[in-house]
Structure 1
């Protein structure tokens, strides 16, 4: 199951040291600092929207993006991103011909968050395979299944779930991190398009350590600081799964997205930007397959 804390949230300072300056000065300082924050956020939001437009290979007029208030600028940029994703999603969904999209990747890579955005863009349903298994076993959590019945028991139900989900159309499926370890699961997932979300282990470790490992049965260790325990656990798992992840039809690198958008910290790459890149790469994959079929009928 995916970590809920994903980079990209923006906020303002809760106080401006009111106890150190007078009432009139503090009011002025608040307006000044808050105003600067608003202007900065406007610029960053609109710039991100523009970069995503370029990133997705789409063009859209910016002549009416010179809003003078925070509310109008932010809503315009948000609408712009949603509109672009939906337009790109509609185009790609017609070429998918009903095939589902299966997201694979390490725990904490954002499969659930990105998957929900993708499903809306494509007009598909969204399914979290871990949640699907939990519902199948009467609402029992994955962590409880692991601790009481063992990993193999869970993997059997996971394979059963993927078999059922692979027979359904027009779905975005966020799989569990270890779904790739069984070859039979690839037979099921390859009935759709498989997408690997590639996120550096350091970023995953920081993200998971920040929210805790209670729902991560494969990362339970007795000693060590949270970050170190998570990183070591992820490193061990990634070595076992690297070759399996490489079997995905499409790989989306968050590092590459950050470089394209000019973002220094990959935690600032938003789920929207990742979803946009997934659509771009899926389109390339579909186009490549179509060309191959035409060349080698």
Structure 2
């Protein structure tokens, strides 16, 4: 009997010891978990403060880098990239100007012309070509649509059409052209529909008006590629993007073609492509178009005896 009691007591002691070991292991495990949890929280805090977050290898040695340093390095790289792009852009402009200088006699235009007004359908490249002409002639460049947007507190042309109507826009357009006609040494990119009002031609003929004549197919391709969101006169059509754009542009061109013919000079992209041996007018560079525009302006000035 006493042996059984001693055995039972011994078993109970072993169980207590085993239970104690299990509890000790649990406490140890909890302590370790808490320790790593604290470390993890500290690392998160470091990350928030922009402290050490990454390690990169350079030249065989490890270098710790902070978030702040990383951002600074990226900004510096982006700034250098921007500087290279600006240099390339400046060089390209310089080459464009030099190319035109070699192929045109623009000093005569500077002496005889008060300015130039560029007309044409939407998407014909009036702004791009106009900026090149202004650089070559050392004239000021104006975009009539941009000036109208500024007059209406920065409202886009599409929103002006939507909220105020086309008549309101055309009135603003006429007023802008009237003001610009009183200036000298300018190149003006007009809106595609500026030609529909006879009064606008009175102001546009103060200088040499140029019509950029681009095939409707090429216009439809250009506009479809960039979207019609900024083209209020193209929003009402439904169907395939290219087809609806082509149909609407064809209708607009039919309405305006006689008005465009009032320009003093016509720059036909089809003729330029034929002279250069190119099949697609979309392959023509803005420089080639600007050179033709300068030649057409010069031809007009020579035909107008005493023009000033």
Partner SS for 2:187? strand
What aligned pairs does 1:146-225 form with structure 2 within 5 A after superposition? 146-225=161-240
TM-superposed deviation, 1:91: 1.6
What aligned pairs does 1:102-113 form with structure 2 within 5 A after superposition? 102-113=117-128
Does residue 130 of structure 1 match 2:145?
yes
- Give the distance between the partners of 1:110 and 1:257, measured in 2 at CA: 15
What aligned pairs does 1:191-270 form with structure 2 within 5 A after superposition? 191-270=206-285
- Give the distance between the partners of 2:201 and 2:153, measured in 1 at CA: 26
Q: CA 1:171–1:226 in 2, change beyond 3 Å: closer, same or farther?
A: same
Deviating 4+ runs (over 2 angstroms): 75-82, 86-90, 92-97
User: Root-mean-square deviation (CA), in Å?
Assistant: 2.0
TM-score (norm 2): 0.67
Residue 61 of structure 2 is matched in structure 1 by none
- Give the distance between the partners of 1:94 and 1:235, measured in 2 at CA: 36
Q: Which structure 1 residue ranges, 5 or more long, are not aligned?
A: 1-74
> Quick check: which has more Rg, 1 or 2?
2
| Candidates 107, 123, 126, aligned match of 1:91 | 107
**Structure with the higher helix share, 1 or 2:** 2
TM-score (norm 1): 0.70
- Give the distance between the partners of 1:85 and 1:242, measured in 2 at CA: 29
Per-residue deviation, residues 178-228 of structure 1 (Å, max 9, x unmatched): 000000000011111100000000000011001000000001135211101
Partner SS for 1:284? helix
TM-superposed deviation, 1:78: 7.8
Higher relative contact order (CA 8 A, sep 6+): 1
TM-superposed deviation, 1:103: 0.1
- Give the distance between the partners of 1:254 and 1:229, measured in 2 at CA: 23
Contact 2:109–2:298 under 8 Å retained in 1: no
- Give the distance between the partners of 1:129 and 1:80, measured in 2 at CA: 28
Contact 2:118–2:190 under 8 Å retained in 1: yes
Contact 2:237–2:248 under 8 Å retained in 1: no
Partner SS for 1:154? helix
Per-residue deviation, residues 120-152 of structure 1 (Å, max 9, x unmatched): 011001110000111111111110000111100
Partner SS for 1:108? coil
Residue 59 of structure 2 is matched in structure 1 by none
Q: Which structure 2 residue ranges, 5 or more long, are not aligned?
A: 1-89
TM-superposed deviation, 1:85: 1.6
| Candidates 275, 279, 287, aligned match of 1:272 | 287
